[in-house]
A and B are shown apart, each in its own frame.
Chain A
């Protein structure tokens, strides 16, 4: 046993991470990151309150969403003819008999005002199930980035066979990993969010305290893996923190007050929990034993912090949604329940919500209860799956009409989750108790996806046909600081055998015109990463054009590669 206040200068985990990195030739990045972190920490004042709060949320579409039908060319768009002529049964008409499944037209302001853009290039349409996202887009709260993907170097169809490509293109797990690391040409070491946390955590968050800067609602993920090992991921479930088993919900069988970890009941459960916690409070010379106890102790502490945040958020009541006991729902849960069309008075209203809504509820609660978590910079990761629509994607044919499929279900889930989350964030900004100095522009949500899906279908039957693995895809961004009502990047011409697709394929696999790091770098900068440190977070970024430039010449790939058109966050 030893003094619990004595710091371990270097953990075994940290040592292994450093030695492994050094032996694999990435020591420079590690050292740079560590050095910058120390500088950031030294410059930071003692964090005593949550101010200048910012939360970034990555929403991963596992399985690869069909970005071609999430954001499609609208009436008059130069790619519309290719869409209608080559997408087969996956092509959704802009208007159909009855009009109940029509895509939602949107106009991108940045392209409408760009003299270099082709006539009609600003006209897009959203999937029929994204009606609320059209409203968010039109209100300037949502934007899209077109044709983003993993790249090692700037690549076009013309250079596809001569430049290094991301390893294992078209493979789910590899591309998921590369989106999350943004370093496709190196063995995985860390995620881009994890590196941001390494750098920002000591400067912005309470030292040695409270919850991790990196919180996952989707289990362990690659995006939040810390390079230095100093900012571990903390997993939270849809119901809140993961508590120890065997003591009842929120330790109700062992504690008289769930928020007080020492309020032991005078029963066997209370005594057992006290004994367990006492044992965990011992310190050990053996590193493994000590780290085991540290993990348990931190878990118990984090439970309390998260529990307090949830409790604070739950005190914010919904004005109209009433549960089956006649009591008002919490504002956050009630908003999601109503948005998803679920009767709030039904007994299992909460459990009937899709997982994505449940995850965003938990994130919204942690943002609302941020003062209990101690972080001025918070990173969240959430996800939903079911996008690998090789079959039953849904589509349209003259004979069958509109046939809904899995993509429709996924887009409806997305539409409701994003709309409810956005509503909660806007309401929180004006909520007198929890709002505080929170502003609507204190969060940004950005999507990721394995890759896009092939433009051409893999069958001829509307409904049962689907699409296969492709590359560059369309993603979205939401939040008050997002330059909404715009489409960034470059939308392909949708010619499946043209100059935007991988050579040799006739399926329409767009070569990304923007790299993941060009898309993600604005988030890092928005969170507080200095210009001089962006390259530490995104070491391959220097190979690509500065994301904070604009331009549009769809006929000139050199122009496209030199103008990232990815300056999608205002004020940075």
Chain B
């Protein structure tokens, strides 16, 4: 009986170690749990879904304030969690001369940001998706208490120096903030490491009023039923 209990305990320990290893050890190739949620579709990898939009094609002014050199500080290192292992030679990663890497599929989606032909809630949806992709790669949201810090994280201030949005995107103002179609900076509200609420002040350009726009829960693309305007 005692022998049986000993064997059972040994198996339990082994199972525990395996579970913790899967959870905490850096992924060699990819994290299966994360990959399932973040695996780019074939269309995304090939770039076939890229679209051209008047905003993206519009003449651009001088480049806004670029983020500082990456600080090389990734807070997740304390938890033994490293960024998702990526094949940076894949088509969705475009090497830039300054050492940064543009994630083209997300950048292409963000070209639609503030497109006047689409519903404003879709802007929030696009940003939410971009933040979700950042989180899937770096295992946590951008460390950001301010809009500016979100922009810095999305334009290269991260361990891979990866850009998710073109720093010259017209939605980034001269203060390096992402603004909505009414030129008011979005409010990024870090609730937790995996939940970043994003709010637009809406047409009246005042936060806390009835026309504020936000998504209650993170959603995936193609699920328009999952978001609504905040009438609070």
Contacts and interface: CB of A to CB of B under 8 A. Distances in A.
B75 A24 contact: no
A464 B208 contact: yes
B145 A16 contact: no
Contacts, number: 96
Given A172-B190, A172-B192, A173-B192, A469 B145 contact: yes
Interface stretch (B39-47, B86-94, B136-144): B136-144
A24 B195 CA distance: 26
Interface in A160-196: 161, 164-174, 184-187
A505 B152 CA distance: 12
A11 B78 CA distance: 30
Nearest to A25: B80
In this complex, the member of B16, B77, B195 whose beta carbon has the largest number of chain A beta carbons within 10 angstroms is: B16
A397 interface: no
Given A174-B192, A174-B193, A459-B207, A20 B141 contact: no
Contact of B79 (A15, A187, A390, A505): A187
A23 interface: yes
A470 interface: yes
Chain A interface size band reads 35 or more
A168 B140 contact: yes
Contact of B192 (A168, A461, A469): A168
B73 A165 contact: yes
Contacts of B53: none
Contact of B16 (A20, A152, A507): A20
Nearest to B143: A169
Contact of A170 (B17, B145, B148, B195): B145
B71 A161 contact: yes
B143 A170 contact: yes
Contact of A168 (B13, B75, B207): B75
Contacts of A377: none
A168 B143 contact: yes
B146 A505 contact: yes
A55 to B, nearest CB: 31
Interface string B65-90: 00010010101111100000000000
Contacts of B78: 152, 164, 167, 184-186
B16 A167 contact: no
Chain B interface size band reads 20 to 34
A86 interface: no
Is chain B's interface secondary structure helix, strand, loop, or mixed overall?
mixed
B71 to A, nearest CB: 5
A405 B140 CA distance: 33
Contacts of B191: 171-173
A392 interface: yes
Contact of A16 (B16, B79, B208): B16
B187 interface: yes
A161 B68 CA distance: 11
A274 B208 CA distance: 55
A454 B193 CA distance: 20
Nearest to B140: A168
Interface string B117-149: 000000000000000000000001101111011
A64 to B, nearest CB: 11
B73 A164 contact: yes
B208 A392 contact: yes
A470 B141 CA distance: 17
In this complex, the member of B77, B78, B191 whose beta carbon has the largest number of chain A beta carbons within 10 angstroms is: B78
A539 to B, nearest CB: 13
A515 B143 CA distance: 20
Interface string B25-58: 0000000000000000000000000000000000
A391 B208 contact: yes
A171 B75 contact: no
A469 B196 CA distance: 13
B158 to A, nearest CB: 14
Contact of B140 (A16, A167, A186): A167
B24 A24 contact: yes
A458 interface: yes
A509 interface: yes
A468 B145 contact: yes
Contact of A509 (B17, B77, B145, B193): B145
A28 to B, nearest CB: 17
B208 A170 contact: no
B190 A168 contact: yes
B25 to A, nearest CB: 11
Contacts of B20: 20, 23-24
Contacts of B189: 390, 469
A95 interface: no
A19 interface: yes
Nearest to B76: A167
Nearest to B13: A19
A466 to B, nearest CB: 8
A470 B189 CA distance: 12
A168 B78 CA distance: 11
B206 A464 contact: yes
A186 to B, nearest CB: 7
A89 to B, nearest CB: 13
Contact of B146 (A19, A23, A152, A507): A507
A388 to B, nearest CB: 8
A318 B76 CA distance: 54
A391 B187 CA distance: 11
A461 B189 CA distance: 21
Contacts of B141: 168, 171
B193 A171 contact: yes
A112 to B, nearest CB: 35
A169 B145 contact: yes
Given A169-B145, A171-B141, A19 B16 contact: yes
Given A173-B193, A458-B187, A470-B145, 17 more contacts: A15-B12, A161-B73, A165-B143, A167-B78, A168-B75, A169-B75, A170-B143, A171-B141, A172-B191, A173-B191, A184-B78, A186-B78, A390-B189, A390-B207, A504-B68, A504-B149, A507-B146
19 contacts: A19-B16, A23-B17, A23-B20, A24-B24, A165-B143, A166-B75, A168-B192, A169-B145, A170-B190, A171-B193, A172-B190, A172-B192, A173-B193, A187-B24, A187-B79, A391-B207, A458-B207, A504-B68, A504-B148
Interface of B: 9, 12-13, 16-17, 20, 24, 68, 71, 73, 75-79, 140-141, 143-146, 148-149, 187, 189-193, 195, 206-208
Interface of A: 15-16, 19-20, 23-24, 152, 161, 164-174, 184-187, 390-392, 454, 458-459, 461, 464, 466, 468-470, 504-505, 507, 509
What are the 6 tightest A-B residue pairs by CB atom distance, in nearest-first order? Answer: A391-B208, A170-B145, A167-B75, A173-B192, A171-B190, A185-B78
